[in-house]
Amino acid sequence: MTTAISHAQYIAHVANASLPDAVREQIFVEENRIAAEVLKPRGLARRRVLLVGGAGYIGTPLTAFLLARGYDVRCLDLLLYHNSDCVTPFLGHVNYEFIKADVADAQATNAALEGVTDVIVLAGLVGDPITKKYPAEHQSINEEGLARFVDGLDGRGLNKVIMVSTCSNYGEIPDDTLADENYALKPLSLYANAKVAREKQILGGANKVDYCGTVMRFATAFGLSSRMRFDLTVSEFTRDLFSGTLLQVYDADTWRPYCHVRDFARALTRVLEMPGSVVRFEVFNAGGDANNYTKKMIVDAVHRHFPQSRYEFVAGGFDRRNYKVDFSKIRSRLHFEPEYTVEQGIIELIAALRQGFFSDYAERLPFYRNQDLNYKPV
């Protein structure tokens, strides 16, 4: 007897066509489980994913990816960076909802969680500079607000909860070492310390909470997004060298891993689709080995396109982070490999810049950079 499949299952089946047959079978079995155990009791036709902080640099391409994949998406975001126009293209979509609210607002988050099947937590003040500049706001959002939010997830019958963390948690490690998921965490900033705390909070729920929790340690993001950020290495270096600005590069030989925002969307969706036996209370470094780069390597990659551009290397920067990351676990367990290289991301951004995109950069710095806030704690 042939088992009928839903539209979402069919989309996932086609999208996952390149995966090994055994993995596709795992995903198909998981979708049938979700249909019977998660969707049917709620009277839902599709999974409804709450993206907490879903209007940002990673959240907007993730939204587009999930909607195309057949999911319903509910976004909760405070629009701290005057980024409402990033949400506008989705507002008319029948499977999209937007809630403007603070993750620290318990009443708002409680309402946002009603009727959702899965949660992806992207929210927070993102990055070392802004948390250092706004420590009180960091405490309200990244520490207290997100801690309360995570505490309130149990008992709702949620399917999966994915906490987006950062490879910055590894801090400063020797050049000849690759940090896998078991490597000691050495956070060097308020931002990374808060991420480590939220990781422990999620992972501490193993065998206690009623949802399947997963932690994703993201590499540094690059790539085009409707909420474009030019305070991240690949984008900043590319824009500055394109525009003729003298680029000062501190500690050029320090290592970081990088990953395209669309690849992050694929990785998160893979966690949503894989069985709990594969992802339950696991930690995954999210990225790919080929995109471990030094700052100098990125400068060289951009400079090849603009031989007349100007840059200088400066020693003694304030940011001590230096880490190369091992991505073998996400490759072997989730069969995930990034589709985009750093070089491809540079070419993509150059093409957009040459056509006049982001020409309002100087006039909209609070939009393009996480550097200023107008935030009133709940």
Stretches in the chain below the pLDDT threshold 50: 1-4
The CA-based angle 356-357-358, given to 5 degrees, is 115
Q: 52, 110 in Cβ contact below 8 A?
A: no
Phi and psi dihedrals of 375, rounded to 5? -120, 135
Kindly report, residue by residue over 22-45, the tens digit of the pLDDT: 999 999 999 999 999 999 999 999
Q: What is the pLDDT of residue 9?
A: 54
Closest to 212 in 3D by CA, of 163, 159, 164, 165: 159
Q: What is the dihedral of CA 77, 81, 85, 90, to 10 degrees?
A: -20
Q: What is the pLDDT of residue 13?
A: 56
Q: What is the pLDDT of residue 285?
A: 98
CA distance 253 to 296: 6
How far out from the chain centre does Cα 276 lie?
20
Q: 340, 260 in Cβ contact below 8 A?
A: yes
Q: What is the pLDDT of residue 219?
A: 98
The CA-based angle 301-342-173, given to 5 degrees, is 95
Q: What is the pLDDT of residue 298?
A: 98
CA distance 280 to 210: 11
CA distance 252 to 303: 14
**Domains along the chain with CATH numbers:** 46-221+259-289+326-339 (3.40.50.720)
The per-residue b/e assignment along 310-349, b for 16 or more CB within 10 angstroms, e otherwise, is ebeeeeeeeeebbbbbbbebbbeebbbebebbbbebbebb
CA distance 254 to 275: 37
